[in-house]
């Protein structure tokens, strides 16, 4: 039985990298009928916050990446918050201490810093090489008796540690290059390496899929598992998401919070699809997948090894795609937060006109503004039709007004008949007249189709706006004479 986990640290808003790691874990797990666990790694008390924990849940749930066990849903291997599992780590620590596989380190931060710099200057890897590893029990007790603060280090074995990565194949490190690392802080807090490994063991995690930034931690984790006498999980390291400059994606250079993308009106379907496409390909030419379809098509071996840039343009395209595919009712529902004051019935008629023009939901207010405003603001010069003067445009709009007045019901067909007829009579180019009307009625040169738009706006509003346009044009021709 496969068991996987996503192990976020609630030290910031849910990062898209976490979301993608969760996604790959989710796909792998569902594909194989396993159990997906949410484990909160909140061992860093100073930086962990409840609101971030909530943000992780909200963001991942929004993406429909639900978990089977977790702090908020329970399960047989809880608690699922590391802050609530200290006794478990304490027991593991005792085991290591008793076997002399870990030892107290009394070095001060200053001493460590000094040693680090010295080794760096000698072009040596900055690993720990203090005196504490060889302290006798008596010396350790003496130092403790003096009240000296101490951390606890794990004795990293002096041997080659190799493992078979699900994605990159065989990887190996020299344990001696790594050095003894801290697993407990002087204040008693456990460091991620220990809690992470202990929990993976205790929670019977079989496969760990995580970011590439963890490959160099893997030998530590393998050594820890061995010291604890446990069989380690199988590891797989997915490539990182990159900034356009190819550095690791960071909020300094890019928005990284899932909640940001959510607010901008990216659909969760598009987000999931996009995230899956970063570093993974189905091997076919297909690129649009629902979450369920991804589960069916996914294969961990097909995940690439090279980092990939977060290409917002592709996300935009996918999002537009998904928006266009949404049923009217569904789109209206999703648009509600962006147009909270709109009358539902009226909105139902407006939405079809902007659906294929939307790349993000948050563009809706700007695209539909003229449907809701009373007074339009625009440059009157836009009313002057191409190849025509202000006066000619005014006269034409006057005729448009007359013609429109004779139309009882502003249906698409009646508008088309009336207006196209007028184009003929005037001898104008269709586009020239229609653009003048468009600007008069919407205040914009880029709008949904004219007749549909006018039909939705209704006769009254259209006539009023055309009258206003005529006034503006009169003022302009007046200025000239």
Q: Of the ranges 70-78, 133-141, 221-229, 429-437, which one interacts with RNA (CB under 7 A)?
A: 429-437
Residues 140-159 that bind RNA (CB under 7 A): 149, 151
Residues 303-322 that bind RNA (CB under 7 A): 304-309, 311, 313-314, 316-317, 320-321
Q: Which is nearer to RNA, 245 or 343 (CB)?
A: 245
**The two three-digit tokens of residue 265, written as one number:** 């009106």
Kindly tell me which residue out of 117, 290, 417, 430 binds RNA, with binding defined by CB under 7 A.
Answer: 430
Residues in the chain: 481
Kindly tell me which residue out of 279, 291, 428, 443 binds RNA, with binding defined by CB under 7 A.
Answer: 279
Establish if 44 lies at the interface with RNA (CB under 7 A): yes
Establish if 278 lies at the interface with RNA (CB under 7 A): yes
Residues 184-223 that bind RNA (CB under 7 A): 185-186, 189-193, 196, 212-217
Q: Report yes or no: 463 and 407 within 8 Å, Cβ to Cβ.
A: no
Helix H or strand E segment including 165: strand 160-165
Q: Is 46 exposed, middle or buried (0-12, 13-18, 19+ CB in 10 A)?
A: exposed
Question: Rounded CA gap, 137 and 106, in Å?
Answer: 13
Q: How far is CA 144 from the centre of its chain?
A: 47
CB 481 to RNA: min, Å:
30
Q: Which is nearer to RNA, 193 or 461 (CB)?
A: 193
Among 178, 221, 170, CA closest to 199: 221
**The two three-digit tokens of residue 390, written as one number:** 């202000």
CB 82 to RNA: min, Å:
7
Catalytic residues: 251
CB 480 to RNA: min, Å:
26
CB 356 to RNA: min, Å:
4
Establish if 63 lies at the interface with RNA (CB under 7 A): no
Site string for RNA, 104-133 (x = CB under 7 A): -x-xxx--x---x---x--xxxxxx-----
The full DSSP string for 173-238 is EEHHHH--EEEE-TTSPBPHHHHHHHHHHHTT--EEEEEGGGGGGHHHHHHHHHHTT-PPPEEEEE
Contacts of 173 (CB under 8 A, 6+ apart): 160, 161, 162, 216, 218, 219
Residues 397-416 that bind RNA (CB under 7 A): 416
Q: Which is nearer to RNA, 403 or 474 (CB)?
A: 403
CB 475 to RNA: min, Å:
25
Q: Which is nearer to RNA, 403 or 477 (CB)?
A: 403
Peptide bond into 79 cis (omega under 30): yes
Kindly tell me which residue out of 254, 448, 456, 469 binds RNA, with binding defined by CB under 7 A.
Answer: 448
Q: At what angle do helices 344-354 and 450-457 cross, to 10 degrees?
A: 170
Residue 103 has φ and ψ, to the nearest 5°, of -150, 155
CB 463 to RNA: min, Å:
18
Establish if 449 lies at the interface with RNA (CB under 7 A): yes
Residues 365-384 that bind RNA (CB under 7 A): none
Percent helix / strand / coil, the chain, rounded to 5: 55, 10, 35
Q: Of the ranges 137-145, 239-247, 291-299, 332-340, which one interacts with RNA (CB under 7 A)?
A: 239-247
């Amino acid at each position: 039985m496969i068991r996987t986990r996503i192990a976020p640290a609630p030290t910031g808003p849910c990062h898209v990298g976490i979301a993608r790691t969760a996604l790959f874990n989710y796909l792998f797990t569902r594909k194989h009928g396993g159990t997906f666990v949410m484990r909160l790694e909140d061992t860093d008390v100073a930086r962990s916050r409840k609101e971030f924990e909530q943000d992780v849940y909200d963001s991942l749930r929004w993406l429909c990446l639900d978990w089977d066990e977790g702090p908020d849903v329970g399960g047989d291997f809880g608690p699922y918050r590391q802050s609530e599992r200290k006794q478990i780590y304490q027991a593991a620590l005792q085991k290591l201490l008793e076997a002399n596989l870990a030892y107290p380190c009394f070095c001060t931060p200053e001493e460590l810093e000094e040693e680090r710099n010295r080794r760096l200057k000698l072009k040596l890897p900055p690993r720990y090489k203090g005196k504490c590893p060889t302290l006798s029990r008596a010396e350790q007790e003496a130092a403790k008796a003096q009240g000296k603060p101490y951390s606890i280090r794990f004795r990293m074995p002096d041997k080659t540690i190799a493992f078979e990565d699900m994605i990159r194949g065989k990887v190996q490190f020299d344990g001696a290059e790594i050095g003894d690392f801290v697993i407990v802080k002087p204040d008693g807090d456990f460091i991620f390496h220990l809690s992470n490994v202990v929990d993976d063991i205790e929670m019977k995690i079989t496969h760990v899929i995580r970011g590439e930034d963890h490959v160099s931690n893997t030998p530590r984790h393998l050594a820890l598992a061995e010291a604890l006498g446990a069989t380690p999980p199988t590891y797989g390291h997915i490539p990182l998401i990159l900034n356009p400059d190819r550095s690791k994606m960071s909020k300094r250079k890019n928005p990284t919070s899932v909640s940001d993308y959510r607010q901008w009106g990216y659909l969760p379907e598009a987000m999931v699809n996009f995230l899956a496409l970063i570093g993974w390909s189905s091997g076919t030419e297909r690129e649009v997948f629902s979450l369920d379809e991804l589960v069916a098509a996914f294969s961990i071996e097909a995940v690439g090894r090279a980092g990939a840039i977060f290409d917002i343009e592709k996300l935009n395209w996918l999002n537009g795609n998904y928006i266009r595919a949404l049923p009217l009712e569904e789109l209206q529902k999703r648009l509600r937060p962006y147009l909270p004051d709109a009358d539902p019935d009226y909105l139902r008629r407006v939405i079809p006109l902007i659906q294929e023009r939307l790349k993000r939901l948050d563009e809706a207010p700007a695209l539909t503004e003229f449907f809701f405003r009373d007074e339009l603001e625009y440059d009157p010069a836009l009313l002057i039709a191409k190849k025509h003067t202000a006066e000619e445009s005014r006269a034409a709009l006057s005729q448009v007004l007359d013609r429109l007045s004779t139309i009882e019901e502003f249906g698409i067909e009646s508008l088309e008949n009336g207006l196209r007829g007028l184009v003929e009579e005037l001898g104008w180019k269709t586009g020239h007249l229609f653009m003048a009307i468009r600007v008069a009625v919407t205040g914009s040169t880029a709008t949904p189709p004219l007749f549909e738009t006018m039909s939705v706006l209704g006769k009254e509003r259209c006539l009023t706006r055309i009258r206003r346009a005529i006034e503006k044009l009169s003022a302009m021709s007046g200025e000239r004479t």
